[in-house]
Amino acid sequence: MKKHNFFAGPAILPAEVLSEAAQAVQSFGDMGLSLVEISHRSKEFVAVMEEAQQLTKELLHLPDDFAVLFLQGGASLQFAMSAYNLMRSDGSGAYLETGSWAKKAVKEANIIGKGHVVASSADTNFNYIPKDFTLPDDADYFHITTNNTIYGTEIRDLQPMVDAAKAKGIPLVADMSSDIFSGPIPASDFGIIYAGAQKNLGPAGATLVIVRKDILGKTDRAIPTMLNYQTHIDKDSMFNTPPVFAVYTSLLTMRWIKKHGGLQAMQARNEKKADLLYNEIDRNSLFEGTAAKEDRSLMNATFVMPKAELEPAFLQVCTEAGLVGVKGHRSVGGFRASIYNAMELDSVQLLVDVMQDFEKKNG
């Protein structure tokens, strides 16, 4: 039976990417060696890294004053790393608190200095994106989390965030781990963008970090070598051994995105899938969406059953149909269907069909 992968991460990748990546593990190019055993300083892998950096800039329309890095440690390390590099020793960072990962970013900022929460949706279990906030005059940067996998919300319009940071003359920092490359963004208006690869880009192990170079070197604090962006910029992401397989697979995914029309095409693809699923959630008498409609994520659709006693039965029929990963995050329950770039419309249609059939039998 075909499996339809709705897991939030590590998440679905395009079939052709998986096939090519698997081949590279056996034999990479004409080297007669596995990708995972070649030197990261070989001309073959240097070419991989350079193309991955170039293609990131091409897809996001980034000018030359941005550096593209492939690091390790996930977005969780970037919570601290971004603060280390931007926050003055007596300074602060402004944070929009929209979910669990945003809360963790604030926690790391408070270890280093002060993480100032300018607005939060914690009052309603993070089911919306706060729109009304004021950035403090002394903030060194403004940090946002663009998509919240657990709660199914997404900042669909980034311009107000860009404008708020520009008005204060501070860099805008974004954790885009779960919606990077899902559609066009004003990337050149950001100071830092970081994203764990394992949602929409590649396997776990690599973290894409995009830095506007002129914002660095302004803090008066001592930064540990491995946490200093300049360290990795100077060495083209090879200060230490990079995660070669994850970087290569991310490159393959970006090639796939470009081949299939770029970010505009990804957005259209994702909107079509999301509309199909959300329309059924809203129509079906057995299900309810959990996120405010205007803030619903194109990547992670979250929903519940008012008749909670039916949840185990619904999960069982999903399993029988080959729909895996539909169970909601343990902290919120219910259901979550992650529909990243690589998810096919047919898979979403099958989930909708199962929902409709379940309603006929249990409604």
Q: Which are the catalytic amino acids?
A: 101, 175, 199
Distance CA(322)–CA(306), nearest Å, equals 24
What is the signed CA dihedral for 176, 182, 183, 187, rounded to 10 degrees? 30
Contacts of 214 (CB under 8 A, 6+ apart): 65
Distance CA(334)–CA(243), nearest Å, equals 35
Q: State the amino acid at position 266 in one-letter form.
A: M
Distance CA(210)–CA(187), nearest Å, equals 9
The encoded tokens of residue 338 equal: 């992650």
What SS3 state is found at 5?
A: strand
The encoded tokens of residue 346 equal: 């047919």
- As beta bridge partners, residue 143 has 95, 173
Distance CA(14)–CA(34), nearest Å, equals 21
Query: Is the Cα dihedral 102, 103, 104, 109 positive or negative?
Result: positive
- Angle in degrees, CA 315, 317, 323, rounded to 5: 75
Distance CA(93)–CA(87), nearest Å, equals 7
The encoded tokens of residue 228 equal: 């200093």
- As beta bridge partners, residue 220 has none
CB of 141 closer than 8 Å to CB of 94:
yes
3-state secondary structure labels for all residues of 251-309: HHHHHHHHHCCHHHHHHHHHHHHHHHHHHHHHHCCCCEECCCHHHECCCEEEEECCCHH
